[in-house]
Amino acid sequence: MPRAAVQRKEPSAAQLAAREAGAERLKAAAAAKRVAPVVIRKETQFDDDKQSAGVATPGKGAAINQPVQEIEPVTLLVKEKADKLAFFAEPVQIVIHETAEEQADPRFSVWVNGREWVFVRGVEYTVPRYVVEGLLRAKPVGYMNQEYVREDGTRSVRWPTKRGLRYGFSVLHDSERGRAWEKQVRNEP
């Protein structure tokens, strides 16, 4: 059976005008959001005979003793973030330890930033530091029942927690800064 032809309806003049007005509002909003880049400059001074474009001279031949700043494209905050990202992307050589658990899987996976990393026990790997952080932070919490006697002579129960690495591993090669970072993360709960 043949399909019926679809008829396209032409927009009315009011609809076209509303569409144009909406487009103009969007352009105006986008232009208002544009911000001139923030510029950080180094201090420099000009001699009597040298001038910079756009700097007014107080008088003919007078020295400009006011500091002028030069453009520097990267702010301190952006540089710190870039350094941190570079640190976490550094390759680190690790070895995954064997386990004495009978029911432990010989292979396991760790998900970091939406990507799966599959490891086999007893094998050496070179992975980015952010994957090592994922392994370091995989610390399941175990609870125990412990019966004790309070100071007033009544018996009570407490549930102390125990934490440890889910997947034992060792770092084979890393920088001095990386070893200090690893020690800090291992000691966090």
Residue 95's pLDDT band (cuts 50, 70, 90): very high
pLDDT at residue 55 greater than cutoff 60: no
CB 110, CB 133: distance < 8 Å: no
Residue predicted with more confidence, 39 or 122: 122
Mean pLDDT is lowest, of 49-58, 124-133, 159-168, for 49-58
What is the model's pLDDT at position 50?
A: 45
Return d(Cα 132, Cα 93) in angstroms, integer.
9
pLDDT digits over 167-182, tens only? 889 899 888 999 999 9
pLDDT at residue 101 greater than cutoff 70: yes
Return d(Cα 98, Cα 124) in angstroms, integer.
12
The pTM of this model reads 0.53
Return d(Cα 182, Cα 171) in angstroms, integer.
9
What is the model's pLDDT at position 141?
A: 82
pLDDT at residue 2 greater than cutoff 80: no
pLDDT digits over 67-84, tens only? 555 555 567 778 888 889
- Residue 117 to residues 47, 58, 110, 126, 134, Cα–Cα distance (Å): 61, 66, 5, 11, 10
Average pLDDT of the chain to the nearest whole number = 79
What is the model's pLDDT at position 7?
A: 73
Mean pLDDT is lowest, of 40-54, 113-127, 142-156, for 40-54
